[in-house]
């Protein structure tokens, strides 16, 4: 009976047959193994069927392990594959060079079977964790697009405004990690629109008072969809869904938060969202020019928007316009 779950494939690259035999004995029962006795053969095998992990000898004729690693890490299709150097070289400079090229670990010969098994298991687990994180982010983006699905600007609004948010977050002083987290969470800010009737959401004209009350519910609907998650990314998305229509002067919704009662992330996304809505075509309006949108931001500084963030956003207009041009059909 064939296995229901295919074992993960590891490529072992070493010019010494004896070393390949040892690795087969150490890892063969737990993984699918492929072997290459040269750097050139390794590159061909990787091109035909990329492995989940590579164990790579350094000292090989013709093309050494460092050269193989450099080629793999400079190629987009293979740059993600983790590489562990397995070598008799133990000088600190050799290890430093390997890590600088993109290797994730270094095992010295003669190998310890227990250490090899442990290192391989650890790095494959990290690969799985990374794939889960990417799937998590992809799902968030897809749910965000679901809220925009009925819009003529499908997908592009969240692509632009999430990137505007990151630019502004970095200008404010957030770390790269914090700004990237905001970019990843921002697509969910309008997920609550899923619960708004089409007659309201797509009305080609100004909403009446009753319709506007319906539309305002998308903030709390979105928060309800995203609440009580253990994921930091979804916790941030919950905050954005709830706060992106709050205003600096307290006149926003759903709770009338004022000033710094609104999180910095919510204040950033509010500017990014409004700027993109203004400069995009909607069922009820034509797109404004960038200059017109900037004038609106200035006039609403201290009322709708955090004044400091408005100034920072305007200071990043070159990057904003580049994003707008890149993600507009």
Q: What strand order describes the sheet that includes 32-36?
A: 32-36, 9-13, 53-56, 83-87, 105-108
Q: How distant, in Å, are the alpha carbons of 49, 65, 114, 327 from that of 7?
A: 14, 25, 19, 40
Q: Residue 272's pLDDT is what? A: 98
Cβ-in-10-Å burial (0-12, 13-18, 19+) of 217 comes to middle
Same domain, 115 and 158: no
154 and 301 in one domain? yes
**Does any domain span residue 49?**
yes
> What does the pLDDT average to over 22-44?
94
**CATH code for the domain in which residue 121 is found:** 3.40.50.2300
Q: Looking at the domain assignment, is residue 2 inside a domain? A: no
Q: How many domains does the chain have?
A: 2
- Decide if 144 is inside a domain: no
* Same domain as 154, residue 272: yes
User: pLDDT per residue over 58-87, tens digit each?
Assistant: 989 889 999 999 999 999 999 989 999 998
- Residue-wise pLDDT tens digits, 217-242: 999 999 998 898 888 888 999 999 99
Q: Is residue 212 part of a domain?
A: yes
Same domain assignment for residues 119 and 219:
no
Residue of 278, 205, 277, 271 whose CA lies nearest to 243: 271
The verdict on residue 254 lying in a domain is yes
Inside any domain, residue 39 = yes
Domain range spanning residue 79?
9-129
What's the mean pLDDT when you consider all of the chain?
Answer: 89
Q: What is the pLDDT of residues 150-165, one digit of tens each?
A: 555 556 888 999 999 9
Q: Please compute, for residue 291, the number of CA atoms within 13 A of its CA located in the half-sphere on the CB side.
A: 0
Decide: pTM greater than 0.85.
Answer: no
Report the range of poorest mean pLDDT among 26-30, 143-147, 201-205: 143-147
Dist. CA 205–CA 209, nearest whole Å: 13
């Amino acid at each position: 009976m064939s296995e229901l779950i295919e074992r993960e494939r590891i490529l072992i690259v070493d010019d010494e047959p004896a070393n390949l035999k040892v690795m087969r004995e150490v890892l063969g029962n737990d993984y699918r193994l492929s072997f290459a006795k040269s750097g050139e053969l390794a590159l061909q095998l990787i091109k035909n069927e990329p492995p989940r992990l590579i164990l790579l000898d350094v000292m090989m004729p013709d093309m050494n392990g460092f050269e193989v690693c450099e080629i793999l890490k400079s190629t987009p299709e293979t740059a993600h594959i983790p590489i562990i150097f397995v070598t008799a070289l133990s000088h600190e400079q050799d290890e430093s060079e390997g890590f600088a090229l993109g290797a994730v670990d270094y095992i010295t010969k003669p190998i310890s079977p227990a250490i090899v098994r442990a290192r391989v298991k650890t790095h494959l687990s990290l690969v799985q964790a990374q794939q889960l994180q990417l799937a998590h982010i992809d799902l968030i983006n897809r749910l965000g697009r679901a809220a925009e699905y009925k819009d003529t600007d499908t997908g592009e609004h969240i692509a632009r405004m999430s990137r505007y948010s990151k630019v502004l977050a970095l200008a404010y002083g957030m770390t790269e990690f914090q700004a990237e987290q905001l970019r990843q969470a921002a697509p969910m800010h309008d997920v609550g629109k899923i619960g708004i009737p089409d007659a309201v959401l797509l009305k080609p004209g100004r909403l009446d008072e009753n319709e506007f009350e319906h539309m305002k519910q998308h903030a709390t609907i979105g928060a309800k969809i995203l609440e009580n998650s253990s994921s930091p990314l979804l916790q941030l998305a919950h905050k954005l869904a709830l706060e992106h229509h709050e205003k600096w002067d307290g006149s926003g919704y759903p709770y009338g938060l004022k000033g710094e009662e609104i999180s910095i992330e919510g204040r950033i996304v509010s500017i990014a969202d409004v700027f993109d809505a203004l400069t995009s075509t909607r069922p009820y309006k034509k797109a404004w020019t960038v200059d017109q949108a900037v004038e609106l931001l200035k006039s609403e500084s201290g009322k709708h928007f955090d004044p400091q963030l408005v100034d920072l956003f305007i200071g990043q207009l070159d990057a904003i316009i580049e994003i707008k041009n890149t993600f507009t059909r």
